[in-house]
Amino acid sequence: MGSAKILLTDKKGSIINDFMVGNGKGYAKDNLTRQVPGQRRQLAPSDLEDLYSSNSMAANIIDIPAEDMTRSGWTIKMKDEKLKALYESRLRQLKAKDMFKQLNIFDRLYGDGFISLGLIQKSTFELSDAIKLDDLKKISYLNAFSSKKVNNRVIDEDVFSPRYGKSESFEINNRSRTGIEIAGQTQVSVHHSRLIHQQSTRFEDEIEGTSLLESLYDILTVMDTSLWSVGQIMYDFVFKVFKSKDIDGMNNADKAELGMLMDYKFRTEALAVIANDEELGKESTNVSGINQLLDFTWDYLAGAARMPKTVLKGQEAGTLTGAQYDVMNYYSRIASMQENSMRPQLEYLVRLLMWCEDECGGRIDPDSIEWSIEFNPLWSVDSKTDAEIRKLTAESDKIYIESGVLGPSDVQEARFGRFGVTETSKFNADSAADIDKLAESVYKKYKENRADG
């Protein structure tokens, strides 16, 4: 009763295979056991740059989220409006918005992004020294750079340290590739407090971050192959077929010459001169099912990049129902990236500005005043929709106050915060109709923003 039962006989006595038995599940000949996940692909900086510069989808995946994180900017909230205007103006002079965009582009492309802080201090200092807050005079510049400038770094590996997994210092090369070839390599040790460092993904036992393109390499290759294949199909999508009884008597050279002449004539002239018993027609390539294949690659790429197809393509989708929620989910992800990574970095930069003696009217202890950073809305609605949203919010608040759920001061704090009335409204819809309306407005505004660049 063992393996001999794998071979069965039909009514005619012929030996057949039982397809339900096959090679046996889990054995060496089982096709599924021979399939293993692809090995990790580690790309050199030059490979990443080649992929980024030659593949438009790779460039979109790197650039668009970094642009969306900084597109709308941010607002410093404090009671002193003049002081607020001074700090916001100084951030614009330092081109902080562009520097943070480059920081996130380098992080997504190379695995690490950096911003160097051009600090001026009253006393002599070394770049390897930690910043002395009471010694700061001015921040003269911000420069964004990638991990290509970093030769080495020291990471805190103590799991009981508050800075576990964070870099303590960096060995930075201040010369270009040409400068290294001419004058040799020169590196300087820089304390972590003099840099803003962004590293989204890093394995525990590794030093450098992981590029986003490494995990997307296979699907980007498939997308590139799809583009090439579609191009080949379009090139010979329609081709001509010439039928003649005289073809059989021609040798290969004559056939080749006739093919070239007819190809030239029938491409450039609309008139074909043929005999009665000859036939000239057109044939087209059968492309049935190609849409499903291309849709699969787009869906896989969108899922792997965590970006909706409408954002990847930079254009509107054919329908509004599904795409509008994709865009809202994408904005939610961008907002979480702002909160988790950009907010601490921005607050650190603003705190340094406040400590500087020659910045914005003099030194201020950032802990002595009430202030915060609020990211501007990633999307906005038209004035009519905004008025309707505010009306719905006010009606809800009125019900809460009248029913005793909240007091007027609670509503004031929840809606307008510590700094009074703002131009932006916060709204949480309670009904499906409101959510649909809000989602449609979001998607409409998203298309307008992308169209305006």
Q: Could you read off the pLDDT tens digit of each residue along the chain, which spans 453 residues? A: 444 444 555 555 555 555 555 556 666 666 666 667 777 888 999 999 999 999 999 999 999 999 999 998 999 999 999 999 999 999 999 999 999 999 999 999 999 999 999 999 999 999 999 999 999 999 999 999 999 999 999 999 889 999 998 999 999 988 666 655 555 567 899 999 999 999 998 988 888 999 999 999 999 999 999 988 888 888 777 777 778 777 777 888 887 887 787 777 666 556 666 777 777 777 777 888 888 999 999 999 999 999 998 888 875 433 334 446 777 788 889 999 999 999 999 999 999 999 999 998 889 999 999 999 999 988 766 677 677 777 888 888 888 888 887 788 887 777 776 555 555 444 333 444 555 566 666 666 666 766 665
**What is the predicted pLDDT for the residue at 429?**
35
- Give yes or no for a contact between 282 and 239, defined as CB atoms under 8 angstroms apart: yes
Q: What is the pLDDT of residue 427?
A: 39
Distance from chain centroid for Cα 365? 37
DSSP 207: S
- The pLDDT, as a whole number, for residue 314 is 72
Label residue 306 left, alpha or beta by phi (over 0 means left) and psi (-120 to 50 means alpha): left
Domain ranges for the chain: 1-36, 339-452
Query: Which one, of 214, 175, 168, 176, lies nearest residue 192 by Cα?
Result: 168
Cα separation, 54 vs 63, whole angstroms: 14
Residue 443: name the closest of 381, 370, 371, 372 by CA: 381
Between CA 133 and CA 190 the distance in angstroms is 17
Cross-strand bridge partners of residue 188: 172
Is 5 exposed, middle or buried, given 0-12, 13-18 or 19+ CB atoms closer than 10 A? exposed
- Residue-level pLDDT at 268: 59
